[in-house]
């Protein structure tokens, strides 16, 4: 056997002798000399949150120079946090979906529908507020489950599925609420728990709502799940390359289902924060929340092609939008320029992603 294999080697591998004499290790991590652009690219590739973090930092510096103390005051900072709370929570749900290379246009509709369910259950049906809250969260999970079934079992594109369910959930919301708002006073009397997210604590002049703290806790929880559990690794792998993931033994449909269900439940927690913020339950609230959540995720550096991005990027993305809106408003700039700036940020962020994704 040994004879024959040496024989074969001499017969067949003449061309390899030349290559072998060329020396050098092929499969080693060589020290390379990189240009500045390549180094920058490597850095952003390895740290997807870096770009939005730099934008946030520059924006804060710029606005504090233009506006001064009024902008940097803890109260104003906590106001920005309050303003981004709902978009931040929906952004968590949206991040999970986008990491799997999907998109969820129905997050806002799920939020409004579940807020109506929470309000109706507590006020009209007269359930204890805790049960009403849980019913809302369960309804959110069911709504996510419906999206998940359509995406996995019927193999429909997430964009189309959630475009459809967006309309369906919104119509159900109008039907169930009869387009009527539940007044804040009624909630305060019978179900103060639903207002809990709107209560504030004072900290060095900052007014933090429990809703904002709830958002931060959710970010931490999902960060843990994505980075420290097998489920998180499987979410990334499924979004990255579903074929490879299933060959590696991951049941990708199960992962997708779990992601849509969790996202639906998170939207319902967003509904709780929404009731706390506006006080009443309005079937017309949160109309722009769908697209705003996508904006936060995209500016946060998540790739729309899946498998790439971090959950804290979304928090930073939401804060970037909040800081720009707040700063421009304080500087007395017309509201239309806020929209203009946000649009610009989206395009820059997606452009960055296209560049960063290249290896």
Partner 1 sequence: MNNSKSTVLQARGLVKRYGHVTALDGADFDLYPGEILAVIGDNGAGKSSLIKALSGALVPDRGTVKLDNETVNFKSPMDARNAGIETVYQNLAVAPSLDIADNLYLGREQLRPGILGKVFRMLDKKAMHDNARQKLSELGLLTIQNINQAVETLSGGQRQGVAVARSAAFAKHVVIMDEPTAALGVKESRRVLNLIKDVRDRGLSVVLISHNMPHVFEVADRIHIHRLGKRHAVIKPDTHTMSEAVAIMTGAMDPHEHAAGAFAV
Residue numbers at the binding site for partner 1 (CB under 8 A): 1, 4-5, 8-9, 12-13, 15-16, 19-20, 22, 25-29, 45-46, 224, 228-231, 233-234, 236-237, 240-241, 243-250, 307-308, 359
Neighbouring residues of 53: CB distance < 8 A, sequence distance ≥ 6: 316
| C-alpha to C-alpha distance for 256 and 241, rounded to whole angstroms | 13
Distances (CA, A) of 28 to 17, 18, 22, 346: 20, 20, 15, 39
Residue 171 CB neighbours (<10 A)? 12
CB 188 within 8 A of CB 276: no
CB 194 within 8 A of CB 272: yes
Nearer to partner 1, 4 or 35 (CB): 4
Least distance in angstroms from the C-beta of 17 to partner 1: 10
Distances (CA, A) of 12 to 9, 17, 346: 5, 10, 56
Least distance in angstroms from the C-beta of 226 to partner 1: 11
Q: Taking the CA atoms of 17, 23, 28 and 29 in sequence, report the sign of the dihedral they define.
A: negative
Nearer to partner 1, 308 or 325 (CB): 308
Query: What token pair was written down for 322?
Result: 């909040």
Nearer to partner 1, 28 or 336 (CB): 28
CB 114 within 8 A of CB 271: yes
Least distance in angstroms from the C-beta of 18 to partner 1: 9
Least distance in angstroms from the C-beta of 248 to partner 1: 4
| C-alpha to C-alpha distance for 151 and 145, rounded to whole angstroms | 10
At residue 115, the 3 state secondary structure works out as: helix
Least distance in angstroms from the C-beta of 34 to partner 1: 12
Nearer to partner 1, 21 or 332 (CB): 21
Least distance in angstroms from the C-beta of 28 to partner 1: 5
Nearer to partner 1, 82 or 258 (CB): 258
Nearer to partner 1, 153 or 244 (CB): 244
Least distance in angstroms from the C-beta of 241 to partner 1: 6
The residue count for the chain: 359
CB 80 within 8 A of CB 319: yes
Nearer to partner 1, 47 or 184 (CB): 47
At residue 301, the 3 state secondary structure works out as: coil
């Amino acid at each position: 056997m040994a004879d024959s294999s040496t024989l074969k080697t001499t017969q067949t591998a003449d061309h390899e002798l030349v290559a072998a004499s060329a020396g050098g290790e092929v499969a080693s991590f060589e020290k390379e000399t990189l240009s500045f652009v390549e180094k920058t690219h490597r850095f952003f590739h390895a740290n997807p949150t870096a770009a939005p973090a730099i934008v946030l930092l520059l924006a804060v510096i710029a606005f504090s120079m233009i506006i001064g103390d009024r902008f940097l005051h803890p109260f104003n900072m906590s106001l920005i946090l309050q303003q981004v709370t709902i978009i931040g929570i929906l952004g968590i749900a949206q991040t999970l979906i986008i990491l799997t290379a999907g998109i969820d246009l129905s997050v806002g509709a799920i939020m409004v529908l579940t807020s109506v369910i929470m309000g109706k259950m507590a006020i009209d049906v007269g359930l204890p507020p805790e049960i009403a809250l849980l019913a809302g969260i369960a309804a959110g999970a069911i709504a996510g489950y419906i999206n998940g079934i359509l995406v996995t079992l019927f193999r429909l594109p997430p964009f189309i599925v959630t475009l459809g369910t967006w309309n369906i959930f919104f119509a159900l919301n109008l039907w169930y609420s009869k387009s009527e708002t539940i007044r804040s006073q009624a909630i305060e009397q019978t179900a103060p728990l639903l207002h809990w997210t709107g209560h504030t604590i004072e900290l060095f002049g900052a007014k933090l709502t429990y809703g904002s703290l709830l958002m931060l806790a959710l970010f931490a929880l999902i960060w843990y799940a994505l980075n420290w559990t097998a489920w998180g690794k499987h979410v990334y792998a499924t979004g990255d390359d579903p074929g490879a993931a299933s060959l590696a033994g991951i049941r990708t449909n199960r992962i997708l289902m779990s992601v849509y269900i969790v996202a639906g439940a998170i939207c319902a927690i967003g509904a709780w924060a929404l009731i706390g913020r506006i006080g009443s339950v309005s079937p017309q609230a949160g109309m722009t929340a769908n697209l705003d959540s996508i904006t936060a995720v995209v500016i946060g550096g998540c790739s729309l092609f899946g498998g790439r991005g971090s959950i804290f990027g979304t928090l930073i993305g939401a804060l970037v939008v909040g800081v720009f809106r707040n700063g421009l408003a304080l500087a007395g700039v017309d509201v239309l320029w806020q929209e203009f700036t946000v649009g610009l940020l989206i395009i820059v962020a997606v452009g960055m992603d296209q560049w960063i994704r290249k290896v």
